[in-house]
């Protein structure tokens, strides 16, 4: 009796293990993260172009021009600067207003963000185009035996009266194309 109880418990335990293992999933697959290498990033990011030099900005600040006038001059010249913290501190000590320094920093960061966003959008479009091609190839492979002329009007088997070309030439007389196979 005791052995029968042990065997029954073991069988129940094995059945429970099988049920639980059958419900186990492989887990969600992590999305592949496409990383940008530092070399690619250097190619993507726009290079700073300073048509208005930093010395001109310092000179304009010492001539008591307003920060908005200096910023307008920088915008008009399409200048962009890659300043280190030490350069920013030095410019501040030379009398350049913090509003001008903030604009220089913000415009540089915005240019970097736009360049990276453009690159990511370009890659996303390329990936979408590649996926579209793969989907088209997959659909073509699935429909490899599809014949657009095989159907009820052109000879597909869909029951009476769609045998052959339907009730076409000669079917009125019991012979010819489209005559049903019930003779």
* 161: preceding bond cis by omega (within 30 degrees): yes
| Residues 43 and 107 placed together within one structural domain of the fold | yes
Evaluate whether residue 91 is within a structural domain: yes
- DSSP label of 51: S
- Least confident range from 84-88, 92-96, 119-123, 137-141: namely 137-141
Evaluate whether residue 182 is within a structural domain: yes
**pLDDT(146) > 80:** no
Q: What is the mean pLDDT of residues 152-170?
A: 47
Evaluate whether residue 74 is within a structural domain: yes
The answer to whether 144 and 138 have CB atoms below 8 angstroms apart is no
Please choose, from the candidates 100, 28, 25, the residue with its C-alpha nearest in 3D space to the C-alpha of residue 61: 100
| Residues 158 and 116 placed together within one structural domain of the fold | no
**pLDDT(73) > 50:** yes
- From residue 152, alpha-carbon distances to 15, 32, 110, 158, 171 in Å are 52, 47, 62, 6, 16
* More reliable by pLDDT, 147 or 57: 57
Q: What is the pLDDT of residue 91?
A: 92
* More reliable by pLDDT, 162 or 151: 151
Q: What is the mean pLDDT of residues 109-127?
A: 90
Angstrom distance (rounded) from CA 157 to CA 50: 76
Q: Helix H segments across the chain?
A: 2-23, 38-44, 54-62, 67-77, 85-93, 98-142
**pLDDT(153) > 60:** no
| Residues 42 and 92 placed together within one structural domain of the fold | yes
Q: What is the pLDDT of residue 128?
A: 94
Evaluate whether residue 168 is within a structural domain: yes
- Confidence band of 106 (pLDDT split at 50, 70, 90): very high
Q: What is the mean pLDDT of residues 102-122?
A: 90
Dihedral sign, Cα of residue 115, residue 116, residue 121, residue 126: positive
| Residues 118 and 164 placed together within one structural domain of the fold | no
Range of the domain at 97: 38-125
Question: By percentage, how much of the chain surpasses pLDDT 90?
Answer: 32
Please choose, from the candidates 47, 37, 45, 35, the residue with its C-alpha nearest in 3D space to the C-alpha of residue 114: 45
- DSSP label of 37: P
- Confidence band of 8 (pLDDT split at 50, 70, 90): confident
**pLDDT(16) > 90:** no
Q: Domains in the chain: how many in total?
A: 2
Evaluate whether residue 43 is within a structural domain: yes
Considering 92, 109, 125, which residue would you say is the last residue of a domain?
Answer: 125
Crossing angle for the helix pair 85-93 and 54-62, to the nearest 10 degrees: 30
- DSSP label of 156: -
**pLDDT(57) > 50:** yes
| Residues 102 and 180 placed together within one structural domain of the fold | no
**pLDDT(61) > 70:** yes
Q: What is the pLDDT of residue 87?
A: 92
């Amino acid at each position: 009796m005791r052995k029968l109880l042990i065997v029954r418990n073991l069988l129940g335990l094995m059945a429970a293990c099988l049920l639980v293992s059958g419900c186990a999933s492989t887990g969600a697959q992590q999305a592949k993260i496409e990383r940008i290498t530092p070399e690619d990033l250097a190619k993507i990011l726009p290079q700073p172009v300073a048509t208005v030099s930093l010395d001109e900005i310092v000179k304009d600040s010492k001539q008591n021009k307003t920060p908005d006038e200096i910023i307008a001059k920088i915008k008009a010249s399409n200048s962009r600067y890659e300043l280190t913290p030490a350069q920013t501190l030095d410019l501040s000590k030379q009398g350049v207003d913090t509003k001008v320094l903030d604009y220089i920093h913000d415009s540089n960061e915005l240019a970097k963000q736009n360049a990276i966003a453009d690159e990511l959008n370009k890659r996303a479009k390329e990936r979408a185009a590649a996926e579209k091609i793969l989907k088209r190839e997959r659909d073509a492979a699935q429909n490899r035996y599809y014949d657009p002329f095989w159907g009820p009007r052109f000879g597909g088997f869909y029951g009476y009266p769609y045998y052959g070309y339907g009730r076409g030439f000669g079917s009125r007389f019991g012979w010819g194309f489209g005559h049903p196979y019930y003779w």
